[in-house]
Amino acid sequence: MDEKRTVKASKFLARVLRHEPGLIGVTLDEGGWVDVDVLLAACAAHGRRLSRAELEHVVETNNKKRYAISEDGRRIRASQGHSVSVDLGLAPAVPPDVLYHGTATVTVPIVLREGLRPMSRQDVHLSADLETAVRVGSRHGRPAVLAVDAAGLAAAGHVFRLSANGVWLSGPVPPERLRLLPS
């Protein structure tokens, strides 16, 4: 599978498994899982033929580890980033003292005024390292990185969860727990 086809398949899977399962007529269970054979048949029926080997290649080579295949190999889901309602079953976890959020510089004034909100997703996404936050922020223009006082939030009862691919998930983060890092 060439790189261009891999990227195209990954983007399509993200759309289906995170946001629009109905696009190809599949239904995610409460945990976001769908049967692999059902997914592959639905993809083929909608002109997006993908073999089991190609699907596994997309899952294994995705640099953000966006997808997870169940231990028995029968089901697949997105690791996080859903706009459709799912319960990933992630237990609360103790975060590092500081987490990071990458965004575009144009959104910084709003974020510093209103805090971080999930927007169209179920959770706010945070990174454990600065490099990942810069990369995330770069997707939408010139990046800016905000440091999140995760220790202070956790001490105040804020719940954090760690997704299978290392993304920290939380509810809204108030502006007083954010600090803009110098660029």
Whether residue 126 sits in one domain with residue 63:
no
CATH of the domain at 156: 3.20.170.30
Residue type for position 54 = E
Q: Is residue 87 part of a domain?
A: no
pLDDT of residue 75: 98
Q: Which residues pair with 78 in a beta bridge?
A: 67
Q: Residue 172's domain spans which residues?
A: 98-180
pLDDT of residue 171: 96
CATH of the domain at 19: 1.10.10.970
Q: Is residue 83 part of a domain?
A: no
Q: Is residue 128 part of a domain?
A: yes
Q: Is residue 67 part of a domain?
A: yes
pLDDT of residue 164: 87
pLDDT tens sequence for the chain (183 residues):
899 999 999 999 999 999 999 999 999 999 999 999 999 999 999 999 999 999 999 999 988 889 999 999 999 999 988 899 999 999 999 999 999 999 999 999 999 999 999 998 899 999 999 999 999 999 989 999 999 999 999 999 999 999 988 999 999 999 999 999 998
Q: Is residue 89 part of a domain?
A: no
Whether residue 171 sits in one domain with residue 108:
yes
Whether residue 152 sits in one domain with residue 123:
yes
CA atoms of 154 and 180, how far apart (whole Å): 20
Q: What is the enclosing helix (H) or strand (E) of 162? A: strand 160-162
pLDDT of residue 63: 83
Whether residue 164 sits in one domain with residue 102:
yes
Q: What backbone phi and psi angles, to 5 degrees, belong to 49?
A: -55, 130
Whether residue 175 sits in one domain with residue 116:
yes
Q: SS3 for 159?
A: coil
Q: Is residue 121 part of a domain?
A: yes
User: Which positions ≥6 away from 66 have C-beta within 8 Å?
Assistant: 10, 13, 14, 78, 79, 81, 165
Whether residue 102 sits in one domain with residue 72:
no
Domain count, the chain: 2
Provide the 10 A C-beta neighbour count for residue 90: 16
CA atoms of 155 and 51, how far apart (whole Å): 47
pLDDT of residue 179: 98
Q: Is residue 14 part of a domain?
A: yes
Size of the chain in residues: 183
Whether residue 104 sits in one domain with residue 40:
no
